[in-house]
Amino acid sequence: MTAALPDFPWDSLAEHTATARAHPDGIVDLSVGTPVDPVPEAIRDALASVSDIPGYPTTHGTPQLRAAAVDALRRRHGIDGLDPDAVLPTIGSKELVAWLPTLLGAGAGSTVVIPELAYPTYEVGALLAGASVLRADGLTQLGPQKPAVLWLNSPSNPTGRVLGVDHLRKVVEWARERGTIVVSDECYLALAWESEPVSVLHPEVNGGSLDGLLAVHSLSKSANLASYRAGFVTGDPELVRKVLAVRKHAGMIVPRPVQEAMTVALTDDKALFVQRERYAGRREVLRTALQDSGFRIDHSEAGLYLWATRDEDSADTVGWLAERGILVAPGTFYGPRGGKHVRVALTATDERVSTAATRLTP
Ligand SMILES: Cc1ncc(COP(=O)(O)O)c(C=O)c1O
């Protein structure tokens, strides 16, 4: 039987949300990483262009979509040698994260390793499968364990930490010795500020073999497609085949218009560049304002968040910011070690971001 799931973290923010909303000049909501900028027109056109197709889409996605994903990973992240058949579209990446241990058969008696500070759905996915969860950032913490699945997330949500090639390589070698599947959640890979994140699929990390490796990608943040639900998983062709087989039975299919939209989004590097510049600008404004008002920013070298602290209890920081009409997420949402940090998302309009800065440093 599935272990009880934790409470949905954001539900507990209701009181602080009400406080922030009561600000006379309105709330600046930096508590969730939801895009606010427009969906590029070419993507919307692509969505509409196939809206008259009545038949079922394929679970594996169109050949064009799979080829576009392979090409995008080559151009944007230097990943060569991916087989388009080993690309599998997903209905956003959250559902995949939540169901992957189940889809891989990692159930009761198996262990899923997740980062100490992590996107909450990794834990949920392990619990849904009936597996045990172990939080660890270092291999020495794992001792003689042989986990079924080990999650990586670089750049990290919530910390923005980037794992170096050596670290990734050691994890892959360690996992291969134990038959552990490494799943790397790379949804922030394109948002690099101070260091260059590397995919687990890069040959420098895996020695040119994809055995036992999966990478999870999302178009939510890179192409403003959170509302479309658009992601994909790729890597070891054997593992992708296994996941595809179950998803076909279960009807876990990306709608055909979304497949078309994804194909265009994966081809358009200019739109990605424009979006990255927007986030870079907002990051600079928020980082400076937070630092000027006494915060320290830890990690945050890439990704969509600032990991900020005043070395006090994160609940106090959330309350202090809410009184200024700024809503952020407490670090405790991401693991017990987050108790002194808050996560500040870069996803608000330029106007809201500069309002937040003014409130922080009047
Ligand atoms: C680390 C991480 N993985 C996966 C997701 C899921 O994104 P989506 O379902 O929009 O692809 C998120 C969303 O914020 C995330 O932060």
Residue 93 Cα to ligand 1 middle (Å): 6
* Residue-level pLDDT at 3: 67
* Residue-level pLDDT at 112: 98
Q: Whose CA is nearest to atom 6 of ligand 1?
A: 94
* Residue-level pLDDT at 247: 98
* Residue-level pLDDT at 8: 85
Which atom, in ligand 1's list, is nearest to the CA of 221?
Answer: 10
Contacts for 276 with CB less than 8 Å, ≥ 6 apart: 190, 191
Cα distances from 23 to residues 203, 243, 245, 320, 323, in angstroms, run: 51, 47, 51, 13, 8
Rounded to two decimals, the pTM is 0.97
Crossing angle for the helix pair 256-267 and 41-49, nearest 10 degrees? 150
* Residue-level pLDDT at 190: 97
Residue 199 Cα to ligand 1 middle (Å): 16
Determine what percent of the chain falls in helix, strand and coil, rounding each to the nearest 5: 45, 15, 40
Residue 119 Cα to ligand 1 middle (Å): 8
Mutate which of 97, 152, 224 to test ligand 1's pocket (most atoms within 8 Å of Cβ)? 97
> In angstroms, rounded to a whole number, what is the distance separating the alpha carbons of residues 232 and 187?
10
Residue 292 Cα to ligand 1 middle (Å): 30
Residue 33 Cα to ligand 1 middle (Å): 9
Residue 221 Cα to ligand 1 middle (Å): 8
Q: Whose CA is nearest to atom 2 of ligand 1?
A: 119
Residue 37 Cα to ligand 1 middle (Å): 17
Which atom, in ligand 1's list, is nearest to the CA of 220?
Answer: 10
Mutate which of 88, 93, 216, 262 to test ligand 1's pocket (most atoms within 8 Å of Cβ)? 93
Which atom, in ligand 1's list, is nearest to the CA of 118?
Answer: 1
> In angstroms, rounded to a whole number, what is the distance separating the alpha carbons of residues 231 and 258?
10
Cα distances from 252 to residues 52, 94, 198, 221, 237, in angstroms, run: 21, 13, 29, 21, 19
Mutate which of 10, 30, 34, 220 to test ligand 1's pocket (most atoms within 8 Å of Cβ)? 220
List, chain by chain if needed, residues with CB within 6 Å of any ligand 1 atom: 33, 92-94, 97, 119, 153, 157, 185, 187, 218, 220, 226, 231
End-to-end Cα distance, the chain: 54
pLDDT tens digit at each of 362 positions of the chain = 456 898 888 888 999 999 999 999 999 999 999 999 999 999 999 999 999 999 999 999 999 999 999 999 999 999 999 999 999 999 999 999 999 999 999 999 999 999 999 999 999 999 999 999 999 999 999 989 999 999 999 999 999 999 999 999 999 999 999 999 999 999 999 999 999 999 999 999 999 999 999 999 999 999 999 999 999 999 999 999 999 999 999 999 999 999 999 999 999 999 999 999 999 999 999 999 999 999 999 999 999 999 999 999 999 999 999 999 999 999 999 999 999 999 999 999 999 999 999 999 97
* Residue-level pLDDT at 2: 59
Do residues 329 and 307 lie in contact, with contact meaning Cβ atoms separated by under 8 Å?
Answer: no
Residue 218 Cα to ligand 1 middle (Å): 7
Residue 283 Cα to ligand 1 middle (Å): 19
